[in-house]
Amino acid sequence: MSRLRNFFARLFSNPLKECKRNGMKVGKGCNILSWKIIAEAYLIEIGDYVQITDGVHLFTHGGGWILRHYGRGISDYDSFGKVVIGNNVYIGNNACIMPGITIGNNVVIGAASVVTKNVPDNVVIAGNPARIINTIDNYCKKMERWNLHCKNMSDDKKKVFLLSLDDNKFIKVHKSL
């Protein structure tokens, strides 16, 4: 029955409303695009102005299977960890936040990162396992040069605008593996 309810919830609801309905504490101005965080949502607390992009997993449990089934005799084993996310946090696509993690304020988490340790304020983290790669101040300074000022354009107007630009206006990676 739970699978059927989740299926219809995805069709007729949105992740933010579903998370709140399941007991997640969510601050103001948040944008949640992921359906991967509904289990034990009541163990998750999110501050103000947080964006959780598509495919993000917030884990509140895990690892119990082996203790229940590998000759340990703990058939009812279950363990949990709360996830706390501060204010002004961006979590990139397909990132995984493990149980018991606290993420500070003003944090960017790169796409596909696996967060296994608490994250301090004012940093950019990425990787598997995630590590600090920059400060928020340096990141903002670096990224300002790529601002094309098109956030509030309609999709059609933005398409015409972006396709009219020279290649030197787009983000470029100058390092090779």
Please give the model's pTM, rounded to 2 decimal places: 0.86
* Per-domain boundaries in the chain: 2-138
How many helices (H) and strands (E) in the chain? 5, 13
Q: How wide is the angle at C-alpha 118 spanned by C-alphas 116 and 122, nearest 5°?
A: 125
Mean pLDDT in residue range 47-58: 96
Distance CA 131, CA 24 (A): 27
Give me the count of residues in the chain: 177
Of the residues 61, 69, 149, 174, only one is catalytic, namely 61
What are the pLDDT digits (tens) for 122-175? 999 999 999 999 999 999 999 999 999 999 999 999 999 999 999 999 998 878
Per the annotation, the verdict on 61 as an active-site residue is yes
Residue with tokens 């787009």, as numbered in its chain:
170
Mean pLDDT value across the chain: 90
* CA distance readout (Å), 90 to 26, 95, 97, 106: 14, 11, 13, 8
Instruction: Give the CA count within 13 Å in the CB-facing half-sphere of 113.
Output: 23
Q: Of 41, 20, 43, 42, nearest to 30 (Cα)?
A: 20
Q: Which pLDDT score, from 0 to 100, does residue 24 have?
A: 93
What superfamily in CATH does domain 2-138 come from?
Answer: Hexapeptide repeat proteins (2.160.10.10)
Q: Which pLDDT score, from 0 to 100, does residue 76 have?
A: 87
Distance CA 109, CA 116 (A): 12
For the cut 70, the answer to whether the pLDDT of residue 9 exceeds it is no
